[in-house]
Structure 1
Amino acid sequence: MASLSNGQPESFVKIPTIKFTKLFINGEFVDSISGKTFETIDPRNGEIIARIAEGDKEDIDLAVKAAREAFDHGPWPRMSGAARGKIMMKLADLIDQNVEELAALDAIDGGKVYTLCKTLDIPYGAANTLRYYAGAADKIHGDVLKMSRELHAYTLREPIGVVGHIIPWNAPTVMFFAKVSPALAAGCTVIIKPAEQTPLSALFYAHLAKLAGIPDGVLNVVPGFGPTAGAAISSHMDIDMVSFTGSTDVGREIMLAAARSNLKPVSLELGGKSPLLVFDDADVDKAADLALFGILFNKGEICAASSRVFVQEGIYEEFEKKLVEKSKAWLVGDPFDPNVRQGPQVDNKQFDKILSYIEHGKREGATLLVGGKPVGNKGYYIEPTIFTNVKEEMIIAQDEIFGPVMALMKFKTIEDAIKSANNTKYGLAAGIVTQNLDIANTVSRSIRAGIIWVNCYYGFDSDCPYGGYKMSGFGRELGLEALNSYLQVKSVVTPIYNSPWL
């Protein structure tokens, strides 16, 4: 059984006072029009952290009106890229100055490990992402075209307009800035709906954006629920683009709503059931570490988690033993404990969903190698769970569980590995562990997924595009590809003097 940390969070880190609980619209914190609020819950114990203003369609209308005014008549899209970049750099500096409080908000609100938030999510996922796009803001330009007729032409890249962002609860800081940063650099104005489970850090970032000098109306944060606030964003006639990260089913609804309204473009980063392929020549000890990291990082609540692990038969038994040994030493518990590697699942709904999938696996005939039970009697903690003797058609090998549950399977040949890796409706990520360059290159080109990690996992970076194939969606986060998503291409054509066009 996994170890459990039972320390009280106050013995490790001082929990901050919750300062911002209202909607942020047009540069001000305001109550919702309805006056309604909802509870945000601490997954460590199921207790209420705070009551948050609940945005609905009328509040989205107000936020869109502010964003539209800021885009059509405000300074942000008309600033030089260098001026926008300077303000974004200031926001990044303010984030660095508040890193501990921001990390604590994501830990208490989402059950994320505090030390990882403090060393990864906030400095890299937020501040460094902002700086990357701030540096790109003054490098947006078109091309001069060589026309085949007596014409001179060039292209302009212009901001797409008002953008609606709907972000998930599993990485509230990282996804906030993966979406907001390129949109701001492009000159867009934005409305962000954070997940109802994790609104706290998004509201704090709105406060810092105001301090940094981002003009009123450019950045609006409206907490609320998907069927109300999220649906209002997707169908709004005055929003020019929607970017969503979350489940495939919800992504389909957003795409339909966008099509039925003003045919706005959408960018969708959706579910995953990512394979990790371990070949016979791998270092078994390191491969087992990588496999556990791939499924247990962020308690398995990550779209790219390596939830299907395929191991070549020559090392399978040794690999299985290593996994059991290492999983038993994996410390689960209070996310503020510096020794803990896995905190609680985000809420009771996700906790129950994961446990129900574990029961599915047992009923389908998979062998529960380790784990499979809740940890402790308070909060939403689940043991690292590994199933073996898994068949590819089983539910636990096909559905996205979004929790610390691994399906472990065996393969014989490279061809078998490729076939198994592609035997899913998803195509978000994949991992390959081998010392053979030919195998790495062959398999990388054969797997239908948006990112392939060779001898590593979660190799994210601001400059590296990330997104899916198949039912994992389309569009890309990060990299210059993401910046281009928020830009329109306009062609300008004029006749050359004395041309037949005059």
Structure 2
Amino acid sequence: MLETEKEKVKKDAEALQLKMYINGEWKEASDQKTRDVINPATGAVIAEAPEGTAEDAQAAIAAAKATFESGVWSDLPATERAAYLLKIADKIDEKAEELTKLETMDNGKTLREAGYDVGDAAACFRYYAGMITQPDGHTYHVADPMQAMVVREPVGVCGLIVPWNYPLLMSVWKIAPALAAGNTIVFKPSEVTPVTPTKLLEIFEEVGLPAGVANMVMGAGPVVGNEIASHKDVDMVSFTGGTKTGKHIMKTAADTMKKVSLELGGKSPNIIFADSDFETAVDYALFGIYAGAGQVCSAGSRILVEESIYEKFLARFAERAKEIRVGDGSDSKTEMGPLVSQEHLDKVLSYIEIGKEEGARLLCGGERLISDGLDKGYFVAPTAFADTTQEMRIVQEEIFGPVVAIQPFKDEEEAIRLANDSDYGLAGAVFTVDGAKGLRVIKKLRAGITWINSYHPTYNEAPWGGYKQSGIGRSLGTFGLEEFQEVKQININLEVEPIGWFEK
């Protein structure tokens, strides 16, 4: 929700006044425009954020480039960069309660979910602080008199663009390895959820991160994001978000041949065999789709159930889904919060109508929740469609909400075929007590993140990313650090004398 200078007087005095962070200074947008930040559970304005311009992005890029070239960060010994990251982690822990509450207000997720995110953010900084002090590089025994070696160096100026579903954690997944590698950054949080990312930049300032190392520009994707993706002085762009936007960024970045890392959408299958532990499978199926109100790229939004237990599964799944406590995430009793915005609410509700029109059987949910004080928020009941088929849009398209499509399969071969019949390939799971079958099916899934008898756990040590139109590159683990590094070959002549290639 954009706002002009005159309209500022209408603001709630308690709303946070956010600013961008460029070259160590907190700044308003160059044209003074702002945007309201809304608590999705209550509809209340919780903050006023700058609506950055292309000029603001250019200033941040210039600062990042000058700082990188100065060597104040890129030339710093790894142990010293690690010390900064550890201080940041300690500050996140110190402010965990505040960050958790703000994350819930900013995004709508429950306090429990937000608390996990804050803890994971601190752990991610610690993980990369440890990694960059470990042995690195290679040497090769090549033909005498040469010695060859390979070293890893920072890419340079990295443009980092993050989504609204994990405002703090997705920021950290990019920022921690980018800084660990010695890069400088131009960071764009989602314009919908900029509160906790701003708090993160405040922590950077508190620990004394050199000016210009981390720069944050708020604003709309088509303006600020496009400038980051297209600017010649940005050496890499890393984006997490929708596939359509990812494709645009990739095309835009191609003009300057910058490095690109994309973590995009998903329509992930959760395959449940008849021999699975039934209650465990149901429980994880619920968690797979309704955690985060389904606003999770890896959500198990397609559930494939073996025919012999299909109706039993539907009955139990619907029974459990109807019991989920939906409400304001700040209430400790809430199990599922709202969608992030009115715009997104409208999108999800439109997909529910599409599912009905396509002939899928509405198993539960299917409506906006407005009773019991929920009328001012963006709440949708946990929704499930049964008897879905491959040609349905609710099966093929990412809804990104608490809506799941359930369909039966006959055997292992059909389960694999249905699971892979998608443009996406981010995640997937298999539930079975037959270990050989579980691994056999997982190996056939065209997906980058998979589980057997589980769903959703993520680890800093393991790579995160997908196949097909779910993206390019990986976050986390050693792979996540390597995304933000260039590989350089160095050859040393150990016998310095003329080569004698040409006759004298």
Common topology (TM > 0.5) = yes
Identical positions, percent:
43
CA distance in 1, matches of 2:487, 2:135: 11
Report how far residue 140 of structure 1 moved. 5.7
State the alpha-carbon separation in 1 of the partners of residues 239 and 170 from structure 2.
10
Q: 1:199 aligns with which of 185, 194, 202?
A: 194
Report the CA distance between 1:339 and its aligned residue. 1.2
Aligned match for 1:301, one of 275, 289, 295: 295
Residues 181 and 320 of structure 1, relative CA distance in 2, 3 Å threshold = same
Taking the aligned partners of 1:453 and 1:18, their CA distance within structure 2 comes to 42
Aligned counterpart, 1:386: 384
Give the CA deviation at 1:473. Answer: 0.7
* Other-structure match for 2:39: 42
Task: Report the equivalent of 2:212.
Answer: 217
Q: Distance in 2 between matches of 1:18 and 1:500?
A: 72
Q: Is the 8 A contact 2:16 2:48 kept in 1?
A: no
Please list the CA deviations of residues 315-366 of structure 1 after superposition, one character each: whole Å capped at 9, or x if unmatched: 1121111101111110000101111111110000110100000000000000
Contact in 2 for aligned 1:429/1:468 (Cα 8 Å) = yes
Contact 1:269–1:467 (8 Å) recurs in 2? yes
* Paired position in structure 2 for 1:75: 72
Stretches of structure 2 that go unaligned for 5 or more consecutive residues are: 1-12
Output aligned runs, 1:251-400, within 5 Å: 251-260=246-255, 262-376=256-370, 377-400=375-398
Query: 1:57: which partner in 2?
Result: 54
**1:50-96, CA deviations, whole angstroms, 9 ceiling, x for partnerless residues?**
21111111001111111111110041111111100011100110011
Q: Deviations over 1:431-474 (max 9, x none)?
A: 11111111111111100000111111112000010101000011
* SS at 1:138 equivalent: coil
Displacement of 1:501: 3.7
Report the Cα distance in structure 2 between the residues aligned to 1:458 and 1:436, rounded to whole angstroms: 21
SS at match of 1:183: helix
Distance in 1, matches of 2:420 and 2:277, equals 24
Residue of structure 2 in register with 1:23 after alignment:
20
Aligned to 2:149, the other structure's residue is in SS state strand
Q: Is the 8 A contact 2:16 2:47 kept in 1?
A: no
Secondary structure at the counterpart of residue 215 of structure 2: strand
CA contact (8 A) 1:20 1:203 kept: no
| Paired residue type of 2:198 | L
Asked if structure 1 preserves the Cα contact closer than 8 Å seen for 2:191 and 2:220, the reply is yes
Q: CA offset at residue 197 of structure 1?
A: 0.5
**Which of these residues, 459, 462, 470, is aligned with residue 461 of structure 1?**
459
SS in 1 for 2:133: helix
Contact kept in structure 1, 2:15 and 2:47, CA below 8 Å: yes
CA RMSD of aligned residues (A): 1.4
Structure 1 residues 118-143: Cα deviation after superposition (integer angstroms, max 9, x where no partner): 2x10011x100000001112226211
Q: How does 1:102-141 map to 2 (within 5 A)?
A: 102-118=99-115, 120-124=116-120, 126-139=121-134, 141=136
How many residue pairs get aligned? The number is 484
1:492 maps onto 2:490 in alignment:
yes
Counterparts of 1:49 and 1:30 in 2: how far apart (Å)?
19
Aligned equivalents of 1:343 and 1:34: distance in 2?
35
Distance 2:426 2:497 in 1: 51
| Change over 3 Å in CA distance of 1:140–1:79 after alignment to 2 | farther
Q: Is residue 90 of structure 1 aligned with residue 90 of structure 2?
A: no
Structure 1 length as normaliser, TM-score? 0.94
- Post-superposition Cα deviations, 1:210-237, rounded to whole Å, max 9, x if no partner, equal 1112111111111110000000000011
Match of 2:151 in 1: 156
- For 1:386 and 1:43, the matched residues in 2 are separated by 23
> 2:270 touches 2:302 (CA, 8 Å); kept in 1?
yes
Q: State the SS of the aligned residue for 2:29.
A: coil
Partners of 1:56 and 1:232 within 8 A in 2: no
Alignment partners' CA distance in 1, 2:355 and 2:211 = 51
Separation in 2, partners of 1:148, 1:367: 69
* Amino acid of the structure 1 residue aligned with 2:186: I
1:10 is aligned to none
* SS of equivalent residue, structure 1 residue 456: coil
TM-aligned CA distance change 1:499 to 1:55, over 3 Å: same
The separation in 2 between residues aligned to 1:320 and 1:93, in whole angstroms, is 45
Q: Which residue of 2 aligns with 1:8?
A: none
Residue 245 of structure 2 is matched in structure 1 by 250
Per the TM alignment, residue 392 of structure 1 is displaced from its structure 2 partner at its CA by 1.2
1:148: Cα distance to partner?
4.1
Alignment partners' CA distance in 1, 2:324 and 2:42: 21
Indicate conservation of the 8 Å contact 1:81/1:139, yes or no.
Answer: no
